Amino acid sequence: MEEVYNATVIGKILLTPDLMILRLRTDTPRNEFKAGQYTTIGLLAKEPRSPHSSVPIDEYDPDFLIKRPYSIASAKHETSDFEFYISHVKSGQLTPRLFNLQQGSRIWIDDKILGVFSLNDTPPNNNIVMIATGTGLAPYISFLRSHIHQHPEIKMAVIHGAAYPWDLGYYSELTLLKTLFPNFFYFPTLLKADSTWTGLRGYIEEHLNNGILQNVGIEVDPNKTHFFLCGNPKMVESVTNYLSKFNYTCHRSDCPGSLHIEEY
């Protein structure tokens, strides 16, 4: 059978047993992409599953290529080395196989990079607020790695909601960026942290209502600040409802708006 795989695992960081950063190197470079876009990765059904996974309901032919789209966390100029932030869906078909990969394992990556969730439609001099839950953080890492040094004149903020401190992927990198760039603000907020956590607690929309952005000089105004949302549908809905009070509308190619939503 002809070789299906066209990339190699060059890094696997298990943040928890069910949360990882996966780094892949393609055999041939891709074209430069827009930060925030996604691509599709896949493994054959015959690849072994993680020992932490559950037995799937559906069975596939061993040579069937199981494929799923994932946002790219790496910078837009990294056209051979791709990074993904992945949560383990124990009953899923692909992620249990991804979590079983090791350094040097082979994998398939699509040659197409797609998506309209990018900063390209954000006007100059507009602030950028990036709100995520869980692995919805991935496109913002690409945003920041690609663009933060180009925007000293605007304020940029990440609000990331998670359950526990160990669920805050990229915490060290984002904390470092907060130190290096005075125009960047990082607000992690947790739902189930113990007493050792001294940061924010509770739902993202609670902090928005309490003026967390206005306190650092970011106006909630569609003419001055663009919002990006990626993650849990309930978070997306509640934050969208909050922003609607400020006359935010969803961005579409035929009708530009200041609210950008990545569904997953």
DSSP the chain: ------EEEEEEEEEETTEEEEEEEESSPPPP--TT-EEEEEEETTSPPPTTSPPPSS---TT-EEEEEEE--S-TT-SSEEEEEEE--TT-SSHHHHTT--TT-EEEEEEEEE-S-SGGGSPTT-EEEEEEEGGGGHHHHHHHHHHGGG-TTS-EEEEEEESSGGG-TTHHHHHHHHHH-TTEEEEEEESS--TT--SEES-HHHHHHTTTTGGGT----TTTEEEEEES-HHHHHHHHHHHHTTT--B-BTTB--SEEEE--
Q: What is the mean pLDDT of residues 187-215?
A: 96
pTM for this entry: 0.94
The tokens 């124990």 sit on which residue? 90
**What is the rounded CA–CA span in Å between residue 22 and residue 14?**
9
> CB-based contacts of 174: which residues, under 8 Å, 6+ apart?
144, 158, 160, 186, 188
Q: What is the mean pLDDT of residues 152-159?
A: 95
Q: What is the mean pLDDT of residues 12-27?
A: 96
> CB-based contacts of 121: which residues, under 8 Å, 6+ apart?
251, 256, 260
55 vs 247, more confident: 247
Domains of the chain listed by start with CATH number: 7-114 (2.40.30.10), 119-262 (3.40.50.80)
**What is the rounded CA–CA span in Å between residue 240 and residue 221?**
13
Amino acid at 39: T
Is the per-residue pLDDT at 1 higher than 60?
no
**What is the overall mean pLDDT for the chain?**
94
CB atoms within 10 A of CB 138: 27
264 pLDDT band, cuts 50/70/90, is low
